Amino acid sequence: MPQKDVYSLLERKVDALRGSSRTGEERKVIDEVFDRQTLLVIYGLMTAELIDTVEYPISTGKEGNVFLAIDPEGGDLALKIFRTSNSTFKRIAKYIEGDPRFRGISGSRRKTIYAWTGKEYRNLQRYRDAGLRVPEPLAHDKNCLVMEFIGEDGVSAPKLKDADIEDVQKTYQEVSAFLRDGYRKARLVHGDLSEYNILYHEGEAVVIDCGQAMTADHYNAREILERDIVNVNRFFRHRGAEVEDDKEMLESMTEEER
């Protein structure tokens, strides 16, 4: 099919999404997210047979929008699309300054956001290589990231804050293992770990939103790790778990391996 026709096909699809949107806010998001370049990326993902269709928005955040997509075998996928807006750029710029992986691309808004998308993909891969439970990253191109869908029948698993946790102590152990092994094995600090960025799926904690995760050798990695520990411990303390002391946890995680 000539590119022009495919493009108009995708535009019709976006029109349909817009039409089925429940609120004005949702429609606005759809208009902003699916600019011409993003549509072309989605077209590329389709011709590469990574995705078959894009269904509905699962989440419309400030910087990213997550959609349910369907793979050619009919399975669910999560498609995260970063908005290439100036506000996204401003927010991520502070994480990118001083990160050697981003050298040479600063200044260009789009390039920075594309690099950020690639960073989330690589962070997810790095966590998985270390055996940690995050969505499996499947593909990324420009501002689009395709990953394993965490949930069932097109419905995302609940965030930890909304979940009915079966065994709070066991889930706490899982999340503290994520903190420790994330640091010691993956050599990453998540940087936004809380009950908002952990999904509870089939009795298991799955950590999402790994774009801002930084390497353990980053100059303020320790501070950020401490913040993650404080957030996690606060949540689980409120849920009645027996939690470790924040400082002791930080010390034991960061002490030199002997």
- 148, two tokens: 């394993």
Interface with ligand ATP (CB under 6 A), residue from 35, 48, 49, 62: 62
Catalytic, 209? Answer yes
20 contact partners, CB below 8 Å, separation of at least 6? 56
Stretch that binds Mg ion, among 16-24, 35-43, 65-73, 190-198 (CB under 5 A): 190-198
Q: Measured from the CB atom, is 117 or 197 closer to ligand ATP?
A: 197
Q: How far is the CB of 181 from Mg ion (least distance, A)?
A: 21
Catalytic, 5? Answer no
> Should residue 197 be labelled a site residue for Mg ion when binding is judged by CB under 5 A?
yes
Which of Mg ion, ligand ATP, none does residue 50 bind (CB under 5 to 8 Å by kind)?
none
> Should residue 226 be labelled a site residue for Mg ion when binding is judged by CB under 5 A?
no
Q: How far is the CB of 15 from Mg ion (least distance, A)?
A: 28
- 214, two tokens: 């930084």
Taking Cα atoms as reference points, which of 76, 113, 244, 68 lies closest to residue 173?
Answer: 244
Which of ligand ATP, Mg ion, none does residue 201 bind (CB under 5 to 8 Å by kind)?
none
> Should residue 64 be labelled a site residue for ligand ATP when binding is judged by CB under 6 A?
yes
Q: Which of 76, 141, 209, 228 is catalytic?
A: 209
> Should residue 112 be labelled a site residue for ligand ATP when binding is judged by CB under 6 A?
no
Q: Measured from the CB atom, is 174 or 209 closer to ligand ATP?
A: 209
Interface with ligand ATP (CB under 6 A), residue from 10, 147, 179, 193: 147
Q: Measured from the CB atom, is 7 or 196 closer to ligand ATP?
A: 196
Taking Cα atoms as reference points, which of 138, 136, 139, 82 lies closest to residue 111?
Answer: 82
**Count of positions (residues) in the chain:** 258
- 78, two tokens: 């999560």
Q: How are beta strands 76-82 and 137-141 bridged, if at all?
A: unpaired
Q: How far is the CB of 156 from ligand ATP (least distance, A)?
A: 4
- 216, two tokens: 């353990």
Which of ligand ATP, Mg ion, none does residue 68 bind (CB under 5 to 8 Å by kind)?
none
Give the angle subtended at the CA of 186 by the CAs of 185 and 192, to the nearest 5°.
Answer: 125
> Should residue 159 be labelled a site residue for ligand ATP when binding is judged by CB under 6 A?
yes
CB 39 within 8 A of CB 14: yes
- 202 by Cβ neighbours in 10 Å (0-12 / 13-18 / 19+) ranks as exposed
Strands (E), 72-180: 76-82, 137-141, 144-148, 151-152, 155-156
Q: Which of 31, 192, 217, 245 is catalytic?
A: 192
Q: What is the contact surface with Mg ion in residues (CB under 5 A)?
A: 197, 209
Question: Catalytic residue numbers?
Answer: 192, 209
